[in-house]
Amino acid sequence: MNQDYENFIRLMKSKTGIDLSMYKEAQMKRRLTSLFQKKGFQSFQEFFQSLDKDQALLEEFLDRMTINVTEFYRNRSRWEALENKILPRLLKENQSLKVWSSASSTGEEPYTISMILSRFMPLSQISILATDLDEGALERARLGIYAERSLAEMPTVDKNKYFVNDGSVYKINDDIKKTVQFKKQNLLSDPFGTGYHLIICRNVLIYFTEEAKDILYQKFSKALAPGGVLFVGSTEQIFNPQQYGFEVEDTFFYKKI
């Protein structure tokens, strides 16, 4: 790693608490270099000096490093496995479910879980924690207004039931909104709760180094109740699940033993 980037990592960590060394280096460096070059800076050092004084630039940095791409029912077949196999077992074994959608971005994922859970229980009994590092994404999630493309994978019945179409946008209804509490959290530095029956962590682990993934799998395992499930993204298979006290329950679903 070159000195310029190494110093930038150290300075950003003390300024924001974000540890860029836990993200895959080549990918992150490329993304940030293209941003600072676009802004006319010559080095990470110059970039930091401006970031340190300019809130708007800091927000642009955050926007560039956190990739917020998401959609309702992303990889739909996995949500069907959740509905048809994982949730029926969890609900047989537990009276109520403690659910956490981590790295929830603009909210499509936790709202998807809420819609699926509502087929098993009244909305008034559903409570989902949703967290992300990015304050801007959390704000959009709380607002619950989406472009049509976010709903491409959504079953029509849910679209009709839970959204109001207002011109080119879809507004999620308040009953679903109330089931999700959004909170800022950095997966790499903040503590996790305990006793979860379902933790969803999808499409963020791919950005992390092997060391960071290892730490996170251990933290997720501790946060789950026995029999609880970690649901990961469709490119994020865990190679040694037993090492973390997991067994494979279905593709991309890991059950805590």
Residues that bind ligand SAM (CB under 6 A): 66-70, 74, 103-105, 109, 132-134, 137, 186-188, 202-204, 233
Nearer to ligand SAM by C-beta: 10 or 46? 10
Find the shortest distance in angstroms from Cβ 216 to ligand SAM: 9
Nearer to ligand SAM by C-beta: 94 or 186? 186
Nearer to ligand SAM by C-beta: 97 or 187? 187
- Give one DSSP letter per residue of 101-126, joined into a string: EES-TTTHHHHHHHHHHTTTS-GGG-
Find the shortest distance in angstroms from Cβ 214 to ligand SAM: 15
Nearest to 127 by CA among 97, 105, 104, 161: 97
SS3 43: coil
Find the shortest distance in angstroms from Cβ 132 to ligand SAM: 5
Nearest to 35 by CA among 3, 67, 6, 7: 67
The answer to whether 20 touches 9, Cβ cutoff 8 Å, is yes
**Residue type for position 172:** I
**β-pairing verdict for 128-132 and 99-102:** parallel
Nearer to ligand SAM by C-beta: 65 or 224? 65
Find the shortest distance in angstroms from Cβ 212 to ligand SAM: 8
The answer to whether 113 touches 80, Cβ cutoff 8 Å, is no
> What length does the chain have?
257
Find the shortest distance in angstroms from Cβ 122 to ligand SAM: 26
Q: How many CA atoms lie within 13 A of 209 on its CB side?
A: 13
Nearer to ligand SAM by C-beta: 125 or 251? 251
Find the shortest distance in angstroms from Cβ 35 to ligand SAM: 16
Nearer to ligand SAM by C-beta: 117 or 187? 187
